[in-house]
Amino acid sequence: MNNLSIFLINNLFKILVPAGILLITLICGFIIRKIVFVRLSRWSRQTKTQVDDIILDSIRGPFIIWFLMLGIYFTLESSKLPENLVHIIEKLLLVLGIFSITFVLANISAKLVTAYSRKIESALPVTSLTQNISRILVFAIGILVILHSLGISITPILATLGVGGLAVALALQDTLSNIFSGFHIIVSKQVRIGDYIKLDSGEEGYVTDITWRTTKIKMLPNNVVLVPNEKLTKAIVTNYYLPDKEMAVLVNLGVHYKSDLKKVERVTCEVAREVMREVQGGVPGFEPFIRYHTFADSSINFTVILRAKEFVDQYLLKHEFIKRLHECYIKENINIPYPIRALNYEQEK
């Protein structure tokens, strides 16, 4: 065997051994992942808590990446690369490993906030602000751990952040004001995700999200209004979902002066009860009633009080009530007069 053949065999051996180690590590990773996750999935289906499901979903993807990084590490240990290069790559793998774990923990924390804030009323509501804050805290801790693992002292960094915090706070005064206002809105629960609100400036709609800067309000025409959190805390807000979603629906009407008011009340309440039972959004157990209140120029005016399950239901209730009441008034010969004005000439003489 000549020298060239010996050289090729030695170099081929140096390549195949690390490649084999990497391949074997990946195969073991796939096998372990298959066995472990199948058993853990069976176990998680038997538990009532959502924590195990959230953890399994979060680590399912990165699990094989961790084995790939482990295979690269074993490959480097068995290779003949220069020690300086191996040391640099190992540091890089360590940083990537810590960062991947930090990323997984950030996703787990955000999902836990989402799951338990929906389950427990006393917890923070699910908003972009609460989810992002939990991710930011985990990433901040992860970055500090990475710096410490690289041999960088984090004490001066923390001291610098403390000194520079005042300057940052002054520079980002409006941003920080919106962030803390968003926290105030979330914690006070006076405005919640899903509530129908109306501002004193006229905007109204459903609250869809509370971010670090703005509160998103989806209006009925399917437009979105972005209100800065600070302005929302200073605005006069009507929340149609507090203390509960049910609300009174007032319909103003008027009948002729010659009408039998007892008959008008009876017929009107019968139609109102029918609407409460049959129309979607009505409260079947509510007993509608009317209240006469004004001797107007051409009619005796009164208000019919209905009840809707939530704010937007009032439109369909009014529509059906007016349509059915008009038909019933025609059958019962109850007159809704046009606006008229009578002039008394004898009195002028």
Residues 230 and 188 in one domain: yes
Residues 46 and 82 in one domain: yes
The strand pair at 237-239 and 214-218 is best described as unpaired
Query: How many CB atoms are closer than 10 A to CB 325?
Result: 22
pLDDT of residue 3: 52
pLDDT of residue 34: 74
**C-alpha span between 172 and 2 (Å, rounded):** 73
Query: Does some domain include residue 146?
Result: no
- The CA distances from residue 26 to 33, 67, 72, 74, in Å, are 10, 6, 10, 11
- Torsion of Cα atoms, 256 then 262 then 268 then 273, to 10°: 170
Query: Does some domain include residue 104?
Result: yes
CATH of the domain at 286: 3.30.70.100
Query: Does some domain include residue 232?
Result: yes
Query: Does some domain include residue 141?
Result: no
Residue 222 Ramachandran class (φ > 0 left, ψ -120 to 50 alpha, else beta) = left
Query: Does some domain include residue 281?
Result: yes
Contact between residue 317 and residue 306 where contact means Cβ atoms under 8 Å apart = yes
Residue 281: helix, strand or coil by DSSP?
A: coil
Contact between residue 98 and residue 145 where contact means Cβ atoms under 8 Å apart = yes
pLDDT of residue 171: 54
pLDDT of residue 289: 95
Q: How large is the average pLDDT for residues 19-45?
A: 72
Query: Does some domain include residue 175?
Result: no
Last residue of a domain, one of 108, 125, 142: 125
Last residue of a domain, one of 77, 110, 125: 125
Helix runs in the chain, H state only: 3-46, 51-78, 83-119, 128-149, 155-171, 173-188, 229-234, 261-278, 313-331, 345-348
Residues 189 and 225 in one domain: yes
Query: Does some domain include residue 30?
Result: yes
Last residue of a domain, one of 239, 262, 285: 239
pLDDT digits (tens, 9 = 90+) for 281-321: 999 989 999 999 999 888 999 999 999 999 999 999 999 99
**C-alpha span between 17 and 118 (Å, rounded):** 53
Residues 8 and 67 in one domain: yes
Closest to 79 measured CA to CA, from 7, 19, 5, 6 = 19
Whole-structure pTM value:
0.59
Query: Does some domain include residue 96?
Result: yes
CATH of the domain at 222: 2.30.30.60
pLDDT of residue 195: 92
Rounded mean pLDDT of the chain? 79
Closest to 41 measured CA to CA, from 32, 31, 53 = 53
Residue 285: helix, strand or coil by DSSP?
A: coil
Q: How large is the average pLDDT for residues 12-18?
A: 60
pLDDT digits (tens, 9 = 90+) for 94-133: 777 777 788 777 777 777 776 666 555 555 566 666 667 7
Sequence-distant (6+) residues with CB within 8 A of 76 are: 18, 86, 89, 90
The pLDDT of residue 264 is above 90 = yes
The range of the structural domain enclosing residue 317 comes to 247-331
Number of folded domains that form the chain? 3
Sequence-distant (6+) residues with CB within 8 A of 235 are: 199, 200, 201, 227
Direct distance between the N- and C-terminal alpha carbons of the chain, in angstroms, rounded to an integer: 143
pLDDT digits (tens, 9 = 90+) for 320-339: 999 999 999 999 999 988 77
Confidence grade of residue 261 (pLDDT, cut at 50, 70, 90) = very high
